[in-house]
Structure 1
Amino acid sequence: MPDRSESQSVPSALRQIALYFRLTGWISFWSQLVLAVVSSVVLLLFGVFSRSPGGSAGNPGTGFGIFFALCGLAILGGSIYWTFRYTRIARQLESPYADTRPRKSDTIQLLRMGLMVNLAGMLSTLLGAYAIVGTLAARSISQPQTGILTDTTRLISSLDMFAVQANINTIAGHFVGIVATLWLLNRINRT
């Protein structure tokens, strides 16, 4: 059995890395959670009100854009879980027993996976944003410049802007995850 004083000493560099993981994990977790909740509510409102008469449900490209926006939001949920794992890694790193601490290579692999999750989510959300903004741009160009409106279904409504806002919030959530992961990778590689 190892000596208790030897097994309970955690090197100061490891304590510092654990502190980085805990703080960055919690900040990223709560930031992403707030952005995901706001995006979910906005997309829910868009879904409910776009089905009403005069809504945006029949616009070409909107369905494609909303599909990718929802995919990006789902991946953001996975990223939120992943950043929560960073706080659990911090606990493991502070363990007084060296055999229960994760290896540096395992921790780096976990961070790389978190980075890939956020990049995939950002790509999906960007594809959705391109489709939605492209649809809105096409509708704005097709509006008559005379000031006389004959077809009100081509107007850009405030409801259409909800979908854009939800995408921007989701992209921001993925950005927070990318920045947090890159910062942790930088900290870990310095030790």
Structure 2
Amino acid sequence: MSQNPDATSSSNIRAIGQKFRLTGWISFWIQLVLGVVSGVILLLFAISSQRPGSSGNNAGAGFGIFLAICGLVSLGVGIYLAFRYTRLGAQLLSANPNNRPRKSETIQVLRLGVMVSLVGILLTLLGAQAIVGTLAARAITQTQFLFSPQGNQPFISGLDMFVVQANTNTVMAHFGGLVASLWLLNRINKP
């Protein structure tokens, strides 16, 4: 018995559509949760660093925070693209072949997702390098004043460490988006 090529093609498109929907939703929620947590932490840091006498007023940390925020903006685009994957999946599952996107359009959206994730990872890692460099410089100078009257004041606060964690969360969110985009790109190009 030979199978009808149209039926095989239709079942492949349905399978790809289901993968797009599932992977899109998983990627969407992972990126959204990690992005919101990172955004809240960075917002708290920005508010606390504006207080007089805070140790957050530092050129290296400021540039690092700027890059971290740029990474979050890029993550926002990645979240939108993950949601778009779910919509592409719904279109691929459509019974009307005219509603389905072309393969080239779908590949173009996936490539855009890969690029957005890579740019976001780069921006966030550069921000993390600037922030960690600033914290390392503070830690080195902190040991010099260990036995001074100011020795009981922490130069590196817990909020500083949360900013490092926020950057790590953002990198992880971008990595999740990158893995989802690459996996879908692999599935769509599979013979």
Same fold at TM > 0.5? yes
Aligned counterparts of 1:88 and 1:180: Cα–Cα separation in 2: 15
Q: 2:159 is matched with which residue?
A: 159
Asked if the contact 1:50–1:56 (Cα under 8 Å) also holds between the matched residues in 2, the reply is yes
Q: 2:189 is matched with which residue?
A: 189
Residue 52 of structure 1 aligns to a residue whose secondary structure is coil
Residue 59 of structure 2 aligns to a residue whose secondary structure is coil
Asked if the contact 1:115–1:181 (Cα under 8 Å) also holds between the matched residues in 2, the reply is yes
Which segments of 5 or more consecutive residues in structure 1 lack a partner in the other structure?
Answer: 1-6
| Higher alpha-carbon deviation: 51-60 or 170-179 | 51-60
Query: Does 1:128 find its partner at 2:127?
Result: yes
Aligned counterparts of 1:79 and 1:95: Cα–Cα separation in 2: 25
| Higher alpha-carbon deviation: 43-52 or 86-95 | 43-52
What's the TM-score, normalizing by structure 2? 0.89
| CA-atom RMSD in angstroms | 2.1
| Higher alpha-carbon deviation: 81-90 or 95-104 | 95-104
Instruction: Check 1:131–1:146 CA distance in 2 against 1; reply closer, same or farther (3 A cut).
Output: closer
Asked if the contact 2:131–2:164 (Cα under 8 Å) also holds between the matched residues in 1, the reply is yes
Q: 1:26 is matched with which residue?
A: 25
User: How far apart are 1:10 and its partner, in Å?
Assistant: 7.2
User: How far apart are 1:44 and its partner, in Å?
Assistant: 1.0
| Higher alpha-carbon deviation: 95-104 or 176-185 | 95-104
Q: Deviations over 1:92-151 (max 9, x none)?
A: 111222222111121111100111011111111111000000111111122235731455
What's the TM-score, normalizing by structure 1? 0.89
- % identity of equivalent residues: 59
Aligned partner letter, 2:22: L
Asked if the contact 1:56–1:159 (Cα under 8 Å) also holds between the matched residues in 2, the reply is no
Q: 1:67 is matched with which residue?
A: 66
What are the within-5 Å matches in structure 2 for residues 39-78 of structure 1? 39-78=38-77
What are the within-5 Å matches in structure 2 for residues 99-110 of structure 1? 99-110=98-109
Number of residue pairs matched by the alignment = 185
User: How far apart are 1:165 and its partner, in Å?
Assistant: 1.2
